[in-house]
Structure 1
Amino acid sequence: MELNALLEQPITLPSLPRTVALLMNELGSAEPDLRRLNLLFGADPALAARLLQEANSGHFGAQRQVCGIAEALVLLGMAQLRTLVTTAPLGTTSRSVPGIQLQQFWRYSLNTAKLARALAGLVHQSQIAAYTAGLLHGVGELALHMVDPERMQTVNNLMAPLDIRRALLEQHLFGYCYGQVSAGMAVRWRLPEALVDALRHHHAPFDNDVYEPLAGVLHLAAWRARAREAGLGERELAVTFPGEVGVVLGLDIDTVLQQDPIDWKACPEADDYV
């Protein structure tokens, strides 16, 4: 299937049931806590995408495109937020996205967002944009599995969805990879161009005509989070570290590894999101 044809398909991303339940509880209170709403929306790629899509729809007269969850929350009223959350589809079964372990995907996306934010701070890039890019960069993988589950199962038999080399395999087989699907979806959500560029090029930051540091930041963050999911040891980390990207950003492997979230199993509301 061609990329444009794939992007024309109706794709409804599933949300983490626990996050939806916590949001419904918070939004049901007399005075919802914006900080807690920020934490919870920032823990779920699908909810964050829907929130940002709504904020960038043009209904709110924003002077510029919104890329951060906190800013999007300020634009929307509580009634709109309640509707957004109550209508969110839930990823409750293994069949929600065939071929994808959703709990692993949600954890991976959150960890990538945290790492991207930390790395962006070191190289003076927008931490807000980096966090959002990290949270959303993998939604294209969900879309691929939802639109063409049989083909993707064949691909999964060759390599796991979160393998470090996954983008290269998809690029070889299809002519595009999950990152380009994520970017195409972000265009339809009217997200800022810098964010779209980071999603589109993060798997190969130097393939873009103009190198974008945010794409490099996201590349390193995704590498580390995928390596964590794969349980790579010190030697494998050293061998697979994308050193050429690190050199351009001025980040060596030790610096990247030091940005790991302190507790990879922490519950969503335990950390600050942007």
Structure 2
Amino acid sequence: MELNTLIERPLALPSLPRAVALLMSELGQPEPNLRRLNQFFGLDPVLAARLLELANSPPFRLTRRISGVPEALALLGTAPLKSLVSTATLGGSSRSVPGVNMQQFWRYSLNTAKLARSLAVLVRRNQIAAYSAGLLHALGELAMHLGDPEHALAVDTLVAPLDLRRAKVEQRLLGYCYVDVSAGLARRWQLPEIVVDALQHQNAPFENNAYEPLGGVVHLAAWRARALEAEMDNRELTVSFPDKVGLALGLDIDMVLQQDPIDWTVRADSDDYLV
């Protein structure tokens, strides 16, 4: 399937059932708590993406585009939020996205977002945009598995969806990878360029005349989160560390590892699965 065809294809990307339930409960309150809404929307890549798409749509668009959940919530009222959440496609079953362990995907995406936000502080970049880019960066993988399952599952036979080599294998076999799909979706949703560029350049933020520090932040955050899922030991971490990206940002492996959130997400269904 061609990249543009996949990006334009209507897909029902699944949301984390717990996040949907928490949001419906909070939005049912007489005065929903903005802090809780921010936490719950920030749990799930699809809900966050749909929220940002809505906030950047013509009926709500401001002079500048909205890059994060807190800004979107400050703009939107309760009614559009209820409508958005009530129409979410629930995931969670083994058939939600063939070939993808959704519990792992949600955990991995949240950990990437948390770490991207922490690293953005170190390199003095936009923390809100970093969190959004980290949370949304792998949505292209879900779109590829849902929109073109035959080719996605063929890649799965060579490398797992969260393998560090995934993008290179997809690029070699398909001519594009999940990075291109994630960025294309973000562009279609009219997300701000700061997020789109971070997504587009996350794999090679400082190559081919590119200079995308926020893409570098997402690159390092995704590396750490994937390494965590793979349970890499110290030697494997050292060997696989993307030192060129780290050097460009002024970050070495120790600085990245020291940013591990103290509340690494362990289970997607636990009470600690919060931002």
TM bucket normalised to smaller: over 0.9
Instruction: Report what 1:7 is aligned to.
Output: 7
**Aligned-pair CA distance for 1:58:** 1.9
1:140 aligns with 2:140: yes
Q: Distance in 2 between matches of 1:160 and 1:37?
A: 33
Q: Which residue of 1 aligns with 2:124?
A: 124
Match of 2:186 in 1: 186
- Counterpart CA distance in 1 for 2:148 and 2:61 is 37
For residue 94 of structure 1, give the secondary structure of its aligned residue in structure 2. coil
Unaligned runs of 5+ residues in structure 2 are none
> How far apart in 2 are the matches of 1:66 and 1:106?
23
Letter in 1 for 2:60: F
User: Amino acid of the residue matched to residue 257 of structure 1?
Assistant: L
- Structure-2 change in CA distance of 1:82 and 1:265 (3 Å): same
Question: 1:243–1:252: 8 Å Cα contact kept in structure 2?
Answer: yes
Amino acid at match of 1:248: A
1:28 lines up with 2:31 in the alignment: no
- How many residue pairs were aligned? 273
Whole-angstrom CA distance in 2 between matches of 1:160 and 1:204 = 21
Matched, 1:97 2:97: yes
Q: CA deviation at 1:272?
A: 7.5
Output the TM-score relative to the length of structure 2: 0.96
Check conservation: 1:115, 1:221, Cα contact below 8 A. Answer: yes
- The residue number in structure 1 matching 2:236 is 236
- Pairing 1:1-274 to 2, within 5 Å after superposition: 1-265=1-265, 273=275
Q: In the aligned structure 2, how far is the partner of 1:208 from the partner of 1:184?
A: 19
Q: Aligned letter for 2:65?
A: Q
| In structure 1, distance between residues paired with 2:22 and 2:195 | 28
Q: Note the C-alpha offset of 1:50.
A: 0.4
TM score, norm. by length of structure 1: 0.96
Amino acid at match of 2:103: Q
Which segment drifts farther, 235-244 or 173-182?
A: 173-182
Structure 1 position 206, deviation (Å): 2.5
- Note if contact 1:40-1:269 (Cα within 8 Å) is conserved in structure 2: no
Distance 1:237 1:51 in 2: 35
Cα RMSD after superposing both structures? 1.5
The sequence identity of aligned pairs, in percent, is 64
Q: Which stretch of the first structure deviates more once superposed, 241-250 or 4-13?
A: 4-13
Please say if residues 206 and 248 of structure 2, whose CA atoms lie closer than 8 Å, have aligned partners that are also in contact: no
> Which consecutive residues of structure 1, in runs of 5 or more, have no partner in the other structure?
none
Contact 1:201–1:208 at 8 Å: present in 2 too? no
Residue 269 (structure 1) shift: 7.3
Paired with 2:247 and 2:170, the residues of 1 have a C-alpha distance of: 26
